[in-house]
Amino acid sequence: MQTLTRSVRSALVALTLVCTGALVSAGALVQQQPAAPQPPPPDQIVSAGEIQRMFEAVALVRSQETLKLSDEKYLPFIAKYKALQDARRRTQQERNRILSDLRKLTNDPAGDEGQMKERLKALEDLQTRGDAEIHKAQEGVDSVLDGRQQAKFRLFEEAMEAQKVELITKARQAHRQQQQDKKNP
């Protein structure tokens, strides 16, 4: 078990180094303390999805240190944390698809109201189903943490989310600037 844990940790460390390297090349190194990363150079724009995946990988590795998890707790924690991240991502992706459908329907003057109601019902169902799935995954994470670790985990996730939002905002600003520069050389 300890050998497996070490190999998983080694793989995660390697993944973190790759992700950190990608962030550095994009001009935005994720730092231990929440700080304002620099916007990426206009010729090296990183998509919001790529930033999301990088942050998830970095969060997986940083969590052990932040939560002071023993090697024995780390492997079960990582499996449950990954399940939580996946549940959140799936719910958000499906929500975005439904909202896109609604946007198309409402922008079409001849949009079918029956289809709008069907998509609204799908959105409501997703909210209920997604909340339940995320809650179950969160309980899974909590099951391997003590009370102090659970509290630290909530704070850790908030700090990581704030860093991610800031970096995505800067990446979007850099992309807009790149588009403007192309129009006005």
Indicate the domain borders of the chain. Answer: 2-183
Distance CA 110, CA 103 (A): 13
The model carries a pTM of 0.68
Q: Which amino acid is at 77?
A: F
Task: Quote the DSSP letter at residue 39.
Answer: P
- Per-residue model confidence as pLDDT tens digits over 35-69: 444 545 545 566 667 777 888 888 888 998 899 99
For 165, the token pair is 């939002």
Q: Left if phi > 0, otherwise alpha if psi is -120 to 50, otherwise beta: which for 56?
A: alpha
Choice between 49 and 178, residue whose per-residue pLDDT is larger: 178
CA 159-163-169 angle, to 5 degrees, is: 145
